[in-house]
Structure 1
Amino acid sequence: MTPAVREGEHRTLPLPLGLFLALVAGSAMPLQGRINGALGEELGSGIGAAVVSFGVGLLVLTVVILVLPVGRRGLREMPGHVRAGRFPWWYMLAGAFGAFFVLSQGLVVTFLGVALFTVANVAGQIGSGLLVDRIGFGPGGPRPVSTARLVGALLALAGVVWVVWPTLAERGVAFAVVGPMLMPLVAGLLMGFQQAMNGVQTRHYGNPLPATFFNFLIGTIALVATYLVMLPFAGPAGDLPSVWWMYIGGPLGIVFIAAGAVLVRLLGVLVVSLGLIAGQLLGSLAIDALAPVPGSTVSATTVLGTLVALVAVVIAAAPRSGLKFR
């Protein structure tokens, strides 16, 4: 019988390295958003672009799984883990949560604007990070809501609001947009549980490849089903572009999901969520500085808000919150 946890798997990670990896993984998301946005414009379909992005990621993971022995071993051992009750079978459906996030982008970002969408989604991520850690749903067991963790969470949310405040002030928050904001809020809440479910699977597989593969498999199936349902109303997507870089959104998503699956056990869902959020702000800042689109600017507000989010991650991940050091 396969052991519940592999020998030698109980490892610790230096705090600076763990936070650095979370920041790097998070910084891939704005680039993915920019690429998928360009692909959506080329196809004339946001959901079509999401299907292509997930599909390319699934293709890459399928090749990697088949080539690497650890990937094939994880797939072979999956039924045994489920039969032994090491994690419920529905943990492998975590990819549906990622598909819901992508779907929410396609449905409400145009109406809400990026600023309102971001604030609602980040609030959901922070809330689920605190909840998932508190109840011990993730692979690292229960983590109490200490003062440092709560302050870090609130400070991270304040940093994000600070970054998007100029847009919020211009856009306003009328009663009519409160309803649509629930979708990105729920998507953010689900992301915390998705990371925890992936982390539990990774703990037993011994590597993040199988969990990441199932995320892309289930996410692709969910998005294809959504595309087919909406096809009579929205019409088909356009022809696939010949520009190669429009197809790397999926591989960037692999980095995001795999890193989260590994780090949640060592850092906790809340700290990983905050690290990914800060990484997204850093990535957005870098993209606006190096490859700006019309109307984008790098202001002092953006820089200071990003720094506040980085400080929040350090506060929440302080040694007194239970993180082990090598």
Structure 2
Amino acid sequence: MFGIVFGVLVGLVMPVQTNANSRLRLSVGSPFLASLVSFTVGFLTLLASALLIDGRLPDPTLTAGLPAWLWSGGLLGVVVLTGNIFLFPRLGSVQTVVLPIAGQVIMGLLIDHVGWFNAPQATLDAPRVLGALLLVLGVVGAIGLGDALLHRDRAVGTGSSAGLSLWAWRIAGVVFGMFSATQTAVNGQLGVVLGTATGAALASFTIGVATLLFIVLFTRAKWRLRVPEGHERNPWWMWIGGFLGAAFVFGNALLSPIIGTGLTVMTILLGMMAGSLLIDHFGLLGARKKPTTVLQAVGLACMVAGVAVIRLV
């Protein structure tokens, strides 16, 4: 039960991180620069945590002779982060949320069923399938898909984003979600090998910072810090995205070897959707106030039921 509660709490930080990073992007002008700042703050947070909590830095020699995929978590994180930047203008808000989540759930269950990345095995039986369906249906309700369809929330791209190209982006959305679940499993196993979830998260962020630094230098993104039009000042909370991202990656690395990749993904998704609805309902962190609808409340209840079915049946 502790793992479920902790997973939900880890998920709750993600909508706050998203809002913080989105606001930071407005001030620095580039999504890659915003991501680099966020990853750097997370790296420094985890570096301090490793020294204070573990009393040492992780020993990379412990992975000698082991598969190279142990170090792929940071790269996968950058791919997922960058992927969402490209999905939104082509698919619209609803599909950008639902398709990666579908990919996360599918891949999480597959990793558990087959035991990929040395994850704890859990047979893909009827309760797990039912729980996954309930969770996905809950997500659909929680993001207000019905309202979105009534208002025809379609992809805003045209031309090359139409027809077969549009379906290619939809498939990419599912794949990005699968990468996210894979990152959870990989970082979890790296934590087992290194003997510390903090060390695994630090390694992931180190690779992420290096990758983003290369992207920023390659794209020649220019640093600028300004107060966006329509805003009086830059809020202090726009800098905390990296700290929250560090907590998120640490939570994934800690939980995955304990409760399995599939259940880790689902409990965190539950926390993410609950946090998103709270932010919208109360208009927190500069978000436009949007009271929670009955459909969204029912969707959240469906997600709770999905996690309960997998955990308790």
**Alignment TM-score > 0.5, same fold:** yes
Is residue 207 from structure 1 mapped to residue 207 from structure 2 by the alignment?
Answer: no
Matches within 5 A, 1:27-176: 27-68=12-53, 70=54, 72=56, 75-76=58-59, 78-79=60-61, 81-83=62-64, 85=65, 87-164=66-143, 165=145, 166-169=147-150, 170-172=152-154, 175=163
Q: Which amino acid aligns with 2:22?
A: G
CA distance in 2, matches of 1:222, 1:195: 18
* C-alpha displacement of 1:310: 1.2
CA distance in 2, matches of 1:71, 1:258: 17
Q: Which amino acid aligns with 1:116?
A: Q
* C-alpha displacement of 1:303: 1.3
Q: Which amino acid aligns with 1:203?
A: V
CA distance in 1, matches of 2:63, 2:117: 17
- Aligned residue for 1:317, secondary structure, equals helix
Give yes or no for contact 1:93–1:214 (8 Å, CA) kept in 2: no
1:179 maps to which residue? 168
* C-alpha displacement of 1:259: 1.1
CA distance in 1, matches of 2:183, 2:79: 11
The structure 1 residue matched to 2:205, chosen from 216, 235, 248, is 216
Count of residues in correspondence between the two structures: 295
The structure 1 residue matched to 2:9, chosen from 21, 24, 46, is 24
2:311 maps to which residue? 317
Runs of 5+ unmatched residues, structure 2: 156-161, 228-233
The share of aligned pairs that are identical, in percent, is 27
- Aligned residue for 1:312, secondary structure, equals helix
1:249 maps to which residue? 241
- Aligned residue for 1:39, secondary structure, equals helix
- Aligned residue for 1:23, secondary structure, equals helix
Give yes or no for contact 2:281–2:289 (8 Å, CA) kept in 1: no
Structure 2 CA distance for partners of 1:104 and 1:284, relative to 1, 3 Å: same
CA distance in 1, matches of 2:301, 2:118: 29
- Superposed CA deviations along residues 215-234 of structure 1, whole A, max 9, x for unmatched, are 11111111222222223xxx
Runs of 5+ unmatched residues, structure 1: 1-15, 321-326
Structure 2 CA distance for partners of 1:253 and 1:240, relative to 1, 3 Å: farther
* C-alpha displacement of 1:125: 0.1
2:277 maps to which residue? 285
1:9 maps to which residue? none
1:298 maps to which residue? 292
The alignment's TM-score, normalised by the length of structure 1, stands at 0.84
Structure 2 CA distance for partners of 1:155 and 1:61, relative to 1, 3 Å: same
Is residue 227 from structure 1 mapped to residue 216 from structure 2 by the alignment?
Answer: yes
- Superposed CA deviations along residues 17-53 of structure 1, whole A, max 9, x for unmatched, are 1111010101111110011011111112112111110
CA distance in 2, matches of 1:202, 1:268: 14
Q: Which amino acid aligns with 2:153?
A: R
* C-alpha displacement of 1:114: 2.4
CA distance in 1, matches of 2:97, 2:55: 34
Q: Which amino acid aligns with 1:209?
A: T
Q: CA RMSD in A?
A: 2.0
Structure 2 CA distance for partners of 1:138 and 1:71, relative to 1, 3 Å: farther
Structure 2 CA distance for partners of 1:71 and 1:307, relative to 1, 3 Å: farther
CA distance in 2, matches of 1:20, 1:65: 24
Give yes or no for contact 2:29–2:224 (8 Å, CA) kept in 1: yes
Structure 2 CA distance for partners of 1:227 and 1:135, relative to 1, 3 Å: same
- Superposed CA deviations along residues 50-84 of structure 1, whole A, max 9, x for unmatched, are 1110011111212222334x251x523x30x222x
Give yes or no for contact 1:26–1:256 (8 Å, CA) kept in 2: yes
